[in-house]
Amino acid sequence: MRQTPRTKPFAKRSFGQNFLTDAACIEKIIGALDPASDDTIVEIGPGRGALTAALVAAGSSVVAVELDADLIPLLRRKFEGHANFRLFEEDALHTDFRLMIEAGSETTGKPAKLVANLPYNVSTAILQRLIGYRDCFSEMVLMLQKEVVERITAAPGTSERGYLTVLTEAYFDTEMLFEVPPGAFIPVPKVTSAVVRLVPKPGIELPDAEQFSSVISLGFRQKRKTILNNLKNEKIFGAESVVSVIESCGIDPRLRPEDLTLEQWGRLSARSLF
């Protein structure tokens, strides 16, 4: 039997490929980013170019990073002749975004924006990597699983609040923008997605990024335990009693980690000896 010729690469689960096909949704994401002709916009995972096309049409300097080698020729063909489009065949988990922006941008001085319909399998790893590059960007508009957006934006005292929430909150003002139903993609994913805006902020006085992330990671080790129980066997405060350190940070030791505010985590991490 004759096979239908493969005119375009098929979606690969291993690359987290769910391509956006819903025009209204694409328009909403682009509207949230509001691309201008003097903007440099980094796009992670352009895929078949659903968002890229609107960014290129807006005249922004588009710097796209795509890992799937099979999509590269398609993207080059689609945007050939557009001097404001640059494509890097790279892994966003290893990319030096600073160098990429310098190499790919026409404009100078203005911080770049970032947009991505992130591959779900590596979305939180990419998000954590982007924290290290936050000074390169004025804002990031990201599509993630709705559940991940709920975690990122969870207020103190809510069960969704965890390590990723506090880490993101330390470095960004976060705003959940809208939900995107599974039917907006091909192939159709099992879960609902959501778009979040992250705007880098100067941040609270963090003693040290690694120290801060280690303390919140230990503090959330068992979410249902109290902050005291999670930290009491860790030697992170030297000879000082863990209860008295927690209390001196203005924290009730019986609280669960999800109840602590960003400022309280900041005070605790400042006292640790990591």
Phi then psi for residue 182, to 5 deg, are -55, -30
Q: Considering the rule CB under 6 A, would residue 25 count as an interface residue with ligand SAM?
A: no
Instruction: Name which position in 23, 36, 57, 93 contacts ligand SAM (CB under 6 A).
Output: 93
Considering only the stretches 62-70, 102-110, 130-138, 226-234, report the one whose residues sit in contact with ligand SAM under the rule CB under 6 A.
62-70
Q: Which residues of 165-200 are buried (b: 16+ CB within 10 A; e: fewer)?
A: bbbbbbbbebeebeebeeebbeeebeeebbbbbbeb
Query: Most distant CA pair in the chain: distance in Å?
Result: 76
Minimal distance, residue 19 CB to ligand SAM, in Å? 4
Chosen residue from 27, 34, 38, 91 binding ligand SAM by CB under 6 A? 91
- Nearest distance in Å: CB 274, ligand SAM: 29
Q: Residue 90 contacts by C-beta under 8 Å, 6 or more apart in sequence? A: 65, 66, 67, 100
**How far apart (Å, rounded) are the C-alpha atoms in residues 245 and 228?**
10
Regarding 119 and contact with ligand SAM (CB under 6 A), the answer is yes
Q: Does 194 bind ligand SAM (CB under 6 A)?
A: no
Q: By C-beta, is 20 or 218 nearer to ligand SAM?
A: 20
* CB nearer to ligand SAM: pick between 143 and 231: 143
Question: Distance of alpha carbon 140 from its chain centroid, rounded?
Answer: 8
Least gap, CB of 159 to ligand SAM (angstroms): 27
Minimum Å gap between C-beta 37 and ligand SAM is 21
What is the distance between the alpha carbons of residues 245 and 229, in angstroms, rounded to a whole number?
Answer: 13
Residue whose beta carbon is closest to ligand SAM: 45
For residue 108, what are the CA distances in angstroms to 39, 84, 262? Answer: 9, 14, 34
- Residue closer to ligand SAM by CB (options 101, 154) is 101
Q: Where do contacts with ligand SAM occur on this chain (CB under 6 A)?
A: 15-20, 44-48, 50-51, 65-68, 71, 91-93, 117, 119, 122
